[in-house]
Structure 1
Amino acid sequence: MDRNIQGRIFLVGCPRSGTTLLQSMIAAHPNIASFPESHFFEHLNASWPWGPVFGLASRRAQSQFEKFLRVIGQEQMQQQCVPEKAWFSHQYASGFIKVLDTVTHQQGKRLWLEKTPQHLHQIDTIEKFVKDAKFIHLIRNGTDVVSSLYEASRKHSEKTWGGPWSVDQCIQTWLKDVEVSRRHLDKTNHTLVRYEQLVEDPQSVLTKLCGFMGVEFDERMLQDYGKAAKQVVREHEWAWKASAGEPIRNANGEKFAKLFDEGQREYILQHVSVVNVEEFAPAITHSSVN
């Protein structure tokens, strides 16, 4: 791995929490490169019983690696980053990081940010193969994430969402993902952002994040995030991610009131209220970013 790269950062969280908006803001920083979602680590390790023991890669590791290279237009890097007959997870992980490091250098930047929300469940694997990795966790209010998951799974690609999600599926996804984030927040290489704070006071939140990432805050993060969004969002994803390029506003509560009747709203509130996000995600104040 390239020692000249000054930061390797992973943005994770429950899907539909605003990760694309935050990624776009960070990607607008002149020293930070970012990429479309790779889903790489989800498909890295073999799942059969003895696979992890021997450190074997899954059968999908190579195809997922090749797919990501096509997406970012770097197909020629395959042979120079991963051996032709690679069997082990560490070979693919090393090759993947080499690709991100190389592209970052090509763009004249010093840090990179990879955003795949579901990599939240691959943190142990990432920390194993990327020793200096940092993680940004984004958490959004449960009612709004449930609403957005419910709507997106009905309005957009069945291939992407696997068909309509039930209310319970949406609730359990949020509860599980928030709990995973909570378990990692005592580590110094992990930090947390509340979506509500991001849209209310984006400069304060981004200034704090820049400190965590090791760069100075740059106004372009607030000015050019719409342009950056078009570079990190794949064309077929734009239908449900277009809001990342729109003016920043807090739309919390709108879908919740629109999509669900009173009984459904009470049911959802009852279940998501078992988690008090404020306990492990205190408000960010202006004094905390100085």
Structure 2
Amino acid sequence: MTDRDRPSLSKRVYNKLVRLIEGPPVREKTIVKVMDALERRRCPPCFLVGVYRSGTTLLRYVLDSHSQIAVPPETNFLNHLADMWRSEWLRKGLQGVGVDEEGLVLRLRDFAWSIYDDYTLAKGKARWVDKTPSYVDILDFVDLLFGPSCRYIMLYRHGLDVAQSLTAVHANDGLAGPAKRYAEAYGRSPRLAFTNYWVDQCRKMLEFEERHPERCHRIRYEDYAGNPQGRLPAVFAFLGESWEPAVLDYHKGSHDFGLQDHKIEWMRGFKPRTETYRHWDQQELREAVRLAAPVLEQLGYSVP
């Protein structure tokens, strides 16, 4: 790791001063009660899909600021439901008590949907959006659970900027999950490891988009962060929700605080970070470009 991959002292001091002057971000923790089945209504589902460090948390705050949309912190639990679904051993055990594959899907669907619905109703809203980057790996299972009514906001960010951001987090021992496994398996260069990770995850997203184009809306971090008033209304229109300009002041509202939210808690407004990879060693940059170029071009990015 180089010093450039670690947050500078001046930046940390600046962020601390911002928090002291403007006050801490408004946080809350919604208390969710288990709704009676007769009182619960099934809310429209949507997933915000993106690779880690792609601007998903910022867009989550924006969506959660809408009067009709509830966006919880990262939920993670669907990964474990997917493990249950894939387990042949578990399926055989359930068959012994009369639960076949269709019955298992129905039970998993009811359980998952009820979690989101109870949260949404507790927030006094009408629909929910889940923002959990690890769900890129289980998109087909998610679609099996929530079916043709589910919508997907597919968020992308330039792969080398994602790799640089992941490298900085990794340098401070703040990384876990699949991205960390890439770094461990590709020890020569974390930047190249995370470039590979971005390529693999984006290909999964693009393949899913190709299979379900009518239910996916593509947006790029650089576009919405650089021109929020121009780009964000289309996201809400895709969901069938009216545009509310107040969502641009997301930092003035209350949001449940999640595991990843500390990364943007000091932000106010929209400040896109681009071309953060320009300081890389030239040989490393050339190799990263070679790895990422096909997907960058497919997403409409210029290749360095």
**TM-score, normalising length: structure 2:** 0.71
SS at match of 2:49: strand
RMSD (Å), alpha carbons: 2.9
SS at match of 1:273: helix
Alpha-carbon distance in 1 for matches of 2:182, 2:146: 35
Counterpart amino acid of residue 11 in structure 1? L
Alpha-carbon distance in 2 for matches of 1:7, 1:52: 30
Indicate yes or no: 2:267 matched with 1:249: no
Cα pair distance change 1:265/1:117, threshold 3 Å: same
Alignment of 1:4-153 (within 5 A): 4-44=41-81, 45-46=83-84, 50-51=88-89, 88=104, 90-131=106-147, 132-153=149-170
Cα pair distance change 1:246/1:156, threshold 3 Å: farther
Indicate yes or no: 2:274 matched with 1:268: no
Contact 2:78–2:112 under 8 Å retained in 1? no
Larger Rg: 2
Count of aligned residue pairs for this structure pair:
245
Cα pair distance change 1:232/1:203, threshold 3 Å: farther
Q: Which sections of structure 2, spanning at least 5 residues, go unmatched?
A: 1-36, 95-102, 184-189
Cα pair distance change 1:185/1:133, threshold 3 Å: same
Alpha-carbon distance in 2 for matches of 1:249, 1:163: 30
Counterpart amino acid of residue 31 in structure 1? Q
Counterpart amino acid of residue 66 in structure 2? H
SS at match of 1:35: coil
Contact 2:225–2:272 under 8 Å retained in 1? yes
Cα pair distance change 1:215/1:49, threshold 3 Å: closer
Indicate yes or no: 2:201 matched with 1:177: yes
Shift of 1:249: 1.6
Indicate yes or no: 2:238 matched with 1:212: yes
Shift of 1:176: 0.8
- When structure 1 is superposed on structure 2, of 99-108 and 139-148 the one drifting more is 99-108
User: Deviation per CA, 1:144-196, whole angstroms, max 9, x where unpaired?
Assistant: 01111111122243556648932232011111111111112242111111111
| Identical amino acids, percent of aligned pairs | 21
Shift of 1:107: 2.1
SS at match of 1:274: helix
Q: Which sections of structure 1, spanning at least 5 residues, go unmatched?
A: 57-86, 283-290
